[in-house]
Amino acid sequence: MAAILALNGSPRRGGNTELLLQEVADGARQAGGDIEIIRLSDLTMSPCIACGGCDRTGKCVIMDDMQGLYDKVQAAQQIIIASPIYFYALSAQTKIFIDRLQAMWSRKQLLRAAKRWHRDPLNRGYLISVAATSGLRIFEGAVLCVRYAYDALGFEYGGEFLARGFDGRGEIGKDDKKLRQAVQFGIKIVQR
Ligand SMILES: Cc1cc2nc3c(=O)[nH]c(=O)nc-3n(C[C@H](O)[C@H](O)[C@H](O)COP(=O)(O)O)c2cc1C
């Protein structure tokens, strides 16, 4: 499994999130990194139903495509969550993925109680996000949510790559500076 797992939470093909993530992945690969990108909207994933099942087992009872992602999350050294801003927050696809990480938080609690939890200090998590407007606080909700998700996994937050003012499909592809910065971000993730 790939050392860097990247989740694309945008449903729009050829969209700004996808383009940015491709540039970040190019940078990561240039620096020798091994990265896998998964489009969350290609998967069938139900929202968390708060059944409490994972409290007892550390495993989610919902048998859908998230089951395959648990193994990938567990195997990843670094994770990138990429999402467009929808109503000052993450896309629904991204939020479903994050809520389903509750099972991994429960797993961590159970392992801790059994004194078998080992945090890997190299684990890092990142956020990539794009919004149409340039509001100062536009990414605050997304950053808080993603930071807390990484905290639940025991991953250190490594930082974010944010792009304001891009709305049309693939519009960011015309901004060479932003694309170059995204490549650099990918290189840094591997070289940190
Ligand atoms: C349902 C929906 C809600 C959105 N809400 C916001 C918003 O609150 N603030 C904002 O700046 N842009 C908002 N946008 C615009 C997207 O963030 C923007 O178009 C972004 O570039 C989309 O990324 P993508 O090309 O990867 O889909 C919204 C778009 C959609 C479809």
Amino acid code (one letter) for 140: E
Ligand 1 mean position, distance from CA 165 (Å)? 10
Express each pLDDT in 19-35 by its tens digit. Answer: 999 999 999 999 999 99
The count of structural domains within the chain is 1
For the chain, which ranges sit under pLDDT 70? 1
Range of the domain at 91: 4-191
- The answer to whether the CB of 28 is under 6 A from ligand 1 is no
Cβ neighbour number for residue 146 with a 10 Å cutoff: 26
- The answer to whether the CB of 106 is under 6 A from ligand 1 is no
Amino acid code (one letter) for 63: M
**For position 54, which CATH number holds?**
3.40.50.360
Q: pLDDT at position 1, please?
A: 65
How many whole angstroms separate alpha carbon 170 and alpha carbon 174? 8
Ligand 1 mean position, distance from CA 73 (Å)? 26
Q: Please indicate, yes or no, whether the overall pTM of this predicted structure exceeds 0.85.
A: yes
Ligand 1 closest atom vs CA 163: 21
